[in-house]
Amino acid sequence: MTPSILIALGIVAVVLVATIWRFASRRESLPCPVWLSWLVELDNPFTKTNRAAFIVDTLGLSPGMVVLDAGCGPGRLTVPLGQSVGPSGQVVALDIQPAMLARAKIKAEAAGLTNVDFLNAALGGGRLPTNHFNRAVLVTVLGEIPNCTNALAELFDSLKPGGVLAIVEVIFDPHFQSRRTVENLATSAGFRERAFFGTRLAYVIHFEKPDGCQQYAPADVRP
């Protein structure tokens, strides 16, 4: 077979797998299975706001910051987050699936990172420390969480005053959440919206934990 035919077959296979996962996920909130981790390890070529470098750039990270990669999966953002905060900083990579954490750990070790801790836990279960993180990221994970209210309450408590939660959604994800849904959930937890990047079909929203001071300024990143 010619290379063009092989590429076409590959695209068809990816679309087929994604479609099956989407329909299966409609029955219940299923996290991305480990055997499909390769599908979420790659940056989406069609949506800039879902790319790891773009998401990290918007956060305005600096050395020494403490960041939570909530629902880290196979570690697509874990490594660039760890590199951005440097040896004096820390990244906590949290996921409910041990096999996903194992893949993320392999990536972190291959990148020579020693500032990443791994936590096998579900959001909303009370495993996170309070007033601990400067930043938290939740990338195409919100729709997989059975109790979003508890999860966002725990994220709110885990951030330091003035800390920022970045929620990323993209229409290609089977658990896609609309901007209105995300805003309602976050503001109900006590967050206030501070920045929006992208479109209603693929976006990053920054929510801040209020501290009475205007310390946060979103990075100048345009989709």
- pLDDT at position 218, please? 59
100-127, pLDDT tens digit by residue?
999 999 999 999 999 999 999 999 999 9
Q: What pLDDT, on a 0 to 100 scale, did the predictor assign at position 161?
A: 96
Looking at the structure, do residues 129 and 142 belong to the same domain, yes or no? yes
Q: Is residue 216 part of a domain?
A: no
Print the domain residue range for 107.
32-208
Coil/strand/helix, residue 83: helix
What CA dihedral angle connects 145, 198, 131 and 94, to 10 degrees? 40
CATH code of the domain covering residue 48 = 3.40.50.150
Pairing mode of beta strands 159-170, 202-208: antiparallel
Maximal CA-CA distance, the chain: 63
**What is the per-residue pLDDT for 27?**
44
Strand partners, 203: 169, 198
Positions in the chain whose pLDDT score sits under 70: 1-45, 212-223
Predicted pLDDT at 1: 60
DSSP 164-189: EEEEEEETTSTT---HHHHHHHHHHT
Q: Which of 65, 70, 198 is nearest to 124 (CA)?
A: 70
User: Cβ(26)–Cβ(32) under 8 Å?
Assistant: no
Q: Which two tokens stand for residue 12?
A: 């068809």
d(CA 129, CA 115): 17
* Predicted pLDDT at 173: 84
For the entire predicted model, the pTM comes to 0.80
The answer to whether residues 52 and 3 belong to one domain is no
Q: What is the pLDDT at residue 43? A: 62
pLDDT of residue 35: 46
93/105 same-domain check: yes
**Do 25 and 36 share a domain, yes or no?**
no
Whose structure tokens read 């590429």? 7
Number of domains in the chain: 2
Tokens 């919206």: give the residue. 193
